[in-house]
Amino acid sequence: MTPDPTALEAYVDVTAQTLGLPIDPASRALVIQNLAGLMQAARIVAEFELPAALEAAPVFRP
């Protein structure tokens, strides 16, 4: 499913305004395009089902 371009444009505009983050009008289309790509990648990760036997590590040790 591809994100709705109009909704992404509105989201970028409102979020940038809320955060006080100026977006150069020349870069706005690329920001929206990158957000769409990130959302598609996140959807792939979120839809990946983990095995039920998998347990999260209680402590992170690099």
In a domain, 60, yes or no: no
Q: Which residues contact 20 (CB under 8 A, 6 or more apart)?
A: none
Domain range for 21: 5-47
In a domain, 16, yes or no: yes
In a domain, 58, yes or no: no
Does the pTM of the predicted model rise above 0.75?
A: no
Q: Report the number of distinct structural domains present in the chain.
A: 1
**Per-residue pLDDT in tens (0 to 9) along the chain, 62 residues:** 667 889 999 999 999 999 999 999 999 999 999 999 999 999 999 999 888 888 877 888 88
Q: Are 38 and 11 in contact (CB under 8 A)?
A: no
Please state, in angstroms and rounded to a whole number, the distance separating the CA atoms of residues 34 and 11: 13
